[in-house]
Amino acid sequence: MKLYGAIVSADNSKLKTQTSIMTISGTQLAKEIKENVKGKVAEAIKEFGRPPHLVVILVGEDPASQSYVKGKGKDAEEVGFKSTTIRKPDTISEKELLNLIHELNADEDVDGILVQLPLPKHIDEDKVIETIDKSKDVDGFHPANVAALWQKRPCIYPCTPKGIIKLLDKAGVEIEGKKAVVIGRSNIVGLPVSKLLLDRNATVTIAHSRSLNLPEVTSHADILVVAIGRPKFVTADMVKPGAAVIDVGVNRDPDSGKLCGDVDFDSCAEIASVITPVPGGVGPMTRACLMENTLECFLNKMHQQQK
């Protein structure tokens, strides 16, 4: 059955009358989050005499990584952080990179450290992530942060999963008691978002490349989160009518060459009650949550120093 309603942005302003789909604008919600961070940065400067300082390390010249890093730097400046991007050639040795991280760990002026992934094959990513001081781990990837997340102890929430929960909340999607299916089990998205949904009392199923009869699994989902990296993989027949669909994927459409998600937006939007677009959905939220995490690391440090 098709209900009639409106597509609304995250600030609930009507965009155009159509079927009852709600496209959640991550761009709009991210803007609100960044405005809030900006206000807190102004207060922090008054109280502590300086803004938070985010350092992003970019190794090599991968175009996608360059564009992500540029976006992060732009957002950091927008909210009033001190922002530094350290660029290193892909010939940098693992030892040199680890030494650089040790220096930044020891630098009192640095509050957040992010190493853009992926790294060249000769560098062990796990070693790099482990080397970042846990208290400056704005990505929330350090094993101590991951362990704390799974043990429900205070931690830095990884940015993309945190952004997904905020999108669902903003759209008014009830999580408690709902059936959530997450396709993808990566450490960066699939597993942590499953944990956050579980903590909000959803019943969570995690699907992956070996899952059998995926449409059967996904078509029971009230909340469907897709994080696999396959263009337009999820089609309308896989979506329960009225489901909330969160598309994490960032891909190139093989036909048009344009950016697209893991979800076939046009067909799934006919069936979902709430859906995120690509671009303009989860992506901007990831960056906004990075700004929140950097502020959190800074404030934690400052409050520790006051004790």
Is the Cβ–Cβ distance between 261 and 247 less than 8 Å?
yes
Residue 139 and residue 158: Cα distance in Å, rounded?
A: 5
Per the annotation, the verdict on 139 as an active-site residue is yes
Number of chain residues interacting with ligand NAP (CB under 6 A): 24
The 3-state DSSP class for residue 234 equals strand
Catalytic residue among 111, 116, 232, 264: 116
For position 210 contacting ligand NAP by CB under 6 A, the verdict is yes
4: which residues sit within 8 A by CB, 6+ positions away? 17, 18, 19, 20
Q: Does the active-site annotation cover 170?
A: no
- Does 65 interact with ligand NAP (rule: CB under 6 A)? no
Is 67 an interacting residue with respect to ligand NAP (CB under 6 A)?
A: no
Q: Exactly one of 75, 111, 139, 264 is catalytic; name it.
A: 139
Element (H, E) at 115: strand 112-115
Asked if residue 294 binds ligand NAP (CB under 6 A), the reply is: no
Query: Quick check: 286 binds ligand NAP (CB under 6 A)?
Result: yes
Pick one of 67, 209, 216, 258: the residue that binds ligand NAP (CB under 6 A): 209
**Residue 161 binds ligand NAP, judged by CB under 6 A:** no
- With b for 16 or more beta-carbon neighbours within 10 A and e for fewer, the 234-273 pattern comes to beeebbbeebbbbbbbbbeeeeeeeebbbbbbebbbebbb
11 is catalytic: no
The pair of structure tokens assigned to 126 is: 């796990």
Q: Which helix (H) or strand (E) holds 292?
A: helix 282-306
Which residue's CB is nearer to ligand NAP, number 110 or number 274? 274
Q: Which member of 227, 260, 274, 290 binds ligand NAP (CB under 6 A)?
A: 227
Q: Is 283 in the site for ligand NAP (CB under 6 A)?
A: yes
- Paired strand residues for 246: 225
Q: Does 189 bind ligand NAP (CB under 6 A)?
A: yes
Taking the C-alpha atoms of residue 297 and residue 142, their distance in angstroms, rounded to an integer, is 14
Residues that bind ligand NAP (CB under 6 A): 160, 183-186, 188-190, 207-211, 227-230, 248-251, 282-283, 286
